[in-house]
Amino acid sequence: DSGVTQTPKHLITATGQRVTLRCSPRSGDLSVYWYQQSLDQGLQFLIQYYNGEERAKGNILERFSAQQFPDLHSELNLSSLELGDSALYFCASSPQSGRSEQFFGPGTRLTVL
């Protein structure tokens, strides 16, 4: 158990809908990272927050947004969902911003029908 929690574990929704994925980092970790894992694209970095502020951005679509709250939990919002958004979404946390190992949550499996 990494200490990172993600909810929900599974999510099934329809195209065009909007969903919110939630992540609670390990106690004391200030950085939260979001990744998308799919069969064709592999593991892709989406976005990083450090102590409430966006720190790095990766291959995140404009339809996706994220934020980190004062209690350091983070949410990833996915809107206007398409079939291709079906994937595993992982959250990871680390004590600082980069330069160290990341602790991954169990993931949210999103299925868009």
Does position 28 bind another protein by CB under 8 A? Answer: no
Rounded to an integer, what distance in angstroms lies between the CA atom of residue 26 and that of residue 35?
17
From 11, 68, 87, 90, residue interacting with another protein (rule: CB under 8 A) = 90
* 4 near another protein (CB under 8 A): yes
33 binds another protein (CB under 8 A): yes
CA distance 60 to 45: 8
Count of C-beta atoms within a 10 Å radius of residue 35: 23
Which member of 49, 102, 110, 112 binds another protein (CB under 8 A)? Answer: 102
